[in-house]
Structure 1
Amino acid sequence: MWLRWREAMRQALYGADGFYRRERPHRHFRTSVHASPAFGAAVTRLLGEVDERLGRPRVIEFVDMGAGDGLLASQVLAGAPADLASRLRVTAVDLSARPEGLDERVQWADAVPDGVTGLIFANEWLDNVPVDVAEWTSEGPRLVLVDPASGEERLGDLDAKDRDWLERWWPVGERAEIGWPRDEAWAGLVGRLAAGMAVAVDYSHVRSDRPPMGTLIGYRDGSWVRPVPDGSCDLTAHVALDACAGTLTTQREALLRLGVHGERPPLDQARRDPAGYLRALSAAAAEAELIDRGGLGAFGWLTCIR
């Protein structure tokens, strides 16, 4: 059976027995949320800025899109200052079942509520929005079809919408992910905002520096695997964030502005408080990972304000 990659990904990730119906992401790969609690603290500070800009409304909302195990939602609840916490409504959005032990104040949902006033935060969500794949031939770009059971591929025909997107956003290469479903998913997410900010964080690329062979890959148990859409692994591809509406920067720049610096503790602390020094050194190393130019710091941060 031959399917477009977008449909094969949808079934493999989100079908009745799909990967994300059964699995928690942190069991297979590590995100910024799990790298350091400084990430959650920075997001909490960002929520505070949004709250101030909105004039401290009676109810301020935080929506964690693609919440996984709910850790970010829990960190925001725990880290919010008292005044903010007293007005805060937190919703974690994920298709998987509610995690055991999650703070009862976190509302668990399978869709973003409408009319959000506050901050919608989508960390490594867009890369799992299913997309089709194109491959260039002597006749121009062709659609790639896949057999879900084996991962074998053959070529088919692109439709006009696919061609238009490629011509505008990914005009050259050997292989590409066709990103318009992600553009539309992001627009739909932003459309849920009544007032506030939406943020998408993901590994990404821009038109001037597209990867020539595309980026579709599988993940399982912390390792890259061949992307076979049979439900046995995560399927992900970097995001053409510049094709989505909003202001684009890097995670490094965003987190530096929010107070994440990864500065080592002073050496004299090692003599005065060896245990405290080691804890501070470990925390600084984790923060440094978040802003590393060659790693998580290179992730794109896309922001849209309403």
Structure 2
Amino acid sequence: MAHFSLTQLIAQEVNTTGGWLPFDRFMHLALYAPGLGYYAHDSAKFGVLPQSGSDFVTAPELSPLFGRALAVQVAQSLWSTGTDTVWEFGAGSGALAEQLINALDAQGTALSRYTIVDVSGALRARQQQRLAHFGDRVQWADRLPDALRGVVVGNEVLDAMPVKLLARSKGEWFERGVKTSERFGLLAQSAQAHEAINHEAKNRVEAVFEWSDRPTPLRPPIDVPGAHDVVTEIHPQQTAFISTLAQALGRGGTGAAFLIDYGFPEAEYWLPERTQGTLVCHQAHRMDDNPLVSVGDKDITAHVDFTGVALAAQNAGLDVLGYTSQGRFLINCGMAQMMEAADLPMRANAMKLLAEHEMGELFKVIGLATPGHAPALGFAAGDRTHRL
């Protein structure tokens, strides 16, 4: 299985970098190492039930009404920006792309091209199979272009971007990284160590990797009140992605982006009582807080700092169209009316996308655009931009 070799790869990199690896690098390898990381191999990831072999469900898999409602906002933004192209980042199973294209076609919205940017070759293969009937209208790109025109969508993309971990202990800040345990510290120097680490990975023994803290000048963007011990995340890769996306939209002349994910504004993200941060893992529809075991066999995520997203976008020249809960956004886009015409099972699943105790409040939506975009339908009521 993939995690044997992945564990070796990470352990060797720990050794070659002096015995300590920043957590964001560990997370990148665990998720995206070619052919080995969680998103780079063929395991089932998206599904409603664990019996399918999946690890978690995303909104498009839960209900096709998600894509239909989002398409209302996408259609308005295509009209407002005068464009006919949609870009999706991290398209997962391809379910959202299929829903959006079908809904835009049904609305009569002109869509000349739908481009997917996904770093996972395994997921790209699934997407290509699922979306083949759309022909050349659906294309794939390996990277963001320097200039981009059109409407960008991203569902649960930001949460999968590697984060740095910071730990405050006895009033001092440290960057939390990963080391190999003493038993495996000489991994690269013996075949016996390779054999031993394979055994440890196979049997899920928590002895290969350990946490290790180093002093750092890094800090959260706001002071965490109190002097108590804290572990939290900061998001340099998320900020860099938003800045790059904003610059590409600016060079393209016109465009908009709608990003949907779980997260908070900074005042909620760094509440003093959130002492263990937001980092979690997903496997077989269960959550745990230890990314150092079952490496490559489970997802690793952290909540999004939406204030950081907004500031990065504004600093690069974009306007914030709005920020609200997923439930409010979908209602603004007409999901309630869509549910009236749906059967009972579809209505029940759609309610999970709206209900505050399900996904409706945990997930948020932020809209960004080049100057001149019309007021966005998805934020017509319940906009929380003032909380960012």
TM normalised by structure 2 equals 0.68
Distance 1:95 1:144 in 2: 26
**2:284 equivalent to 1:197:** no
Highest Rg: 1 or 2? 2
Q: CA offset at residue 25 of structure 1?
A: 3.5
**DSSP 3-state at the match of 2:28:** helix
Distance 2:211 2:239 in 1: 25
Distance 2:283 2:168 in 1: 29
Relative to its length, the structure with more helix (as a share) is 2
1:171-190 equivalences in 2 (<5 Å) = 174-190=230-246
Structure 1 residues 110 and 263: alpha-carbon distance in aligned structure 2, compared to 1, 3 A threshold? closer
Structure 1 residues 139 and 170: alpha-carbon distance in aligned structure 2, compared to 1, 3 A threshold? closer
1:268 corresponds in structure 2 to none
**DSSP 3-state at the match of 2:40:** helix
1:5 corresponds in structure 2 to 23
1:74 corresponds in structure 2 to 98
2:72 corresponds in structure 1 to 45
Structure 1 residues 81 and 199: alpha-carbon distance in aligned structure 2, compared to 1, 3 A threshold? same
**2:222 equivalent to 1:168:** yes
Aligned-partner residue type, residue 23 of structure 2: W
Q: CA offset at residue 83 of structure 1?
A: 7.7
Contact 1:262 1:288 in 2 (8 A): no
Counterpart pick for 2:213 among 148, 152, 155: 155
Per-residue CA distance 1:40-61 (angstroms, 9 max, x = gap): 1012111110122124x4xx11
Aligned-partner residue type, residue 243 of structure 1: G
Q: Unaligned regions of 5+ residues in structure 1, if any?
A: 266-275
Q: CA offset at residue 191 of structure 1?
A: 2.5
Deviates more, 1:145-154 or 1:133-142: 145-154
Per-residue CA distance 1:47-79 (angstroms, 9 max, x = gap): 110122124x4xx11111101121111111112
Aligned-partner residue type, residue 179 of structure 1: H
1:1-306 equivalences in 2 (<5 Å) = 1=14, 2-16=20-34, 17-23=36-42, 25-26=45-46, 27-55=54-82, 57=83, 60-81=84-105, 84=108, 86-97=110-121, 98-99=125-126, 100-103=129-132, 104=135, 105-147=137-179, 150-159=208-217, 162-163=218-219, 166-168=220-222, 174-193=230-249, 194=252, 195-210=254-269, 211-225=274-288, 226-228=290-292, 230-245=295-310, 246=320, 247-261=322-336, 280-298=343-361, 299-306=363-370
Contact 1:63 1:112 in 2 (8 A): no
Distance 1:48 1:13 in 2: 33
Distance 2:108 2:248 in 1: 22
Distance 2:339 2:100 in 1: 25
**DSSP 3-state at the match of 1:203:** strand
2:49 corresponds in structure 1 to none
4+ residue runs of structure 1 moved beyond 6 angstroms?
Answer: none
Q: Unaligned regions of 5+ residues in structure 2, if any?
A: 1-13, 15-19, 47-53, 181-206, 311-319, 371-388
Per-residue CA distance 1:246-283 (angstroms, 9 max, x = gap): 44211112111101128875xxxxxxxxxx9xx62222
Q: What is the aligned length?
A: 287
Contact 1:262 1:287 in 2 (8 A): no
Identity of aligned residues (%): 27
**DSSP 3-state at the match of 2:237:** helix
**DSSP 3-state at the match of 1:147:** strand
1:269 corresponds in structure 2 to none
Root-mean-square deviation (CA), in Å? 2.4
TM normalised by structure 1 equals 0.85
Aligned-partner residue type, residue 154 of structure 2: A
Distance 1:63 1:76 in 2: 11
Q: CA offset at residue 125 of structure 1?
A: 0.6
Distance 2:306 2:116 in 1: 23
Aligned-partner residue type, residue 303 of structure 1: G
Contact 1:61 1:116 in 2 (8 A): no
Contact 1:47 1:118 in 2 (8 A): no
Aligned-partner residue type, residue 251 of structure 1: Q
Per-residue CA distance 1:82-128 (angstroms, 9 max, x = gap): 68555431011212232224223321222233433221111101111
Aligned-partner residue type, residue 150 of structure 1: V
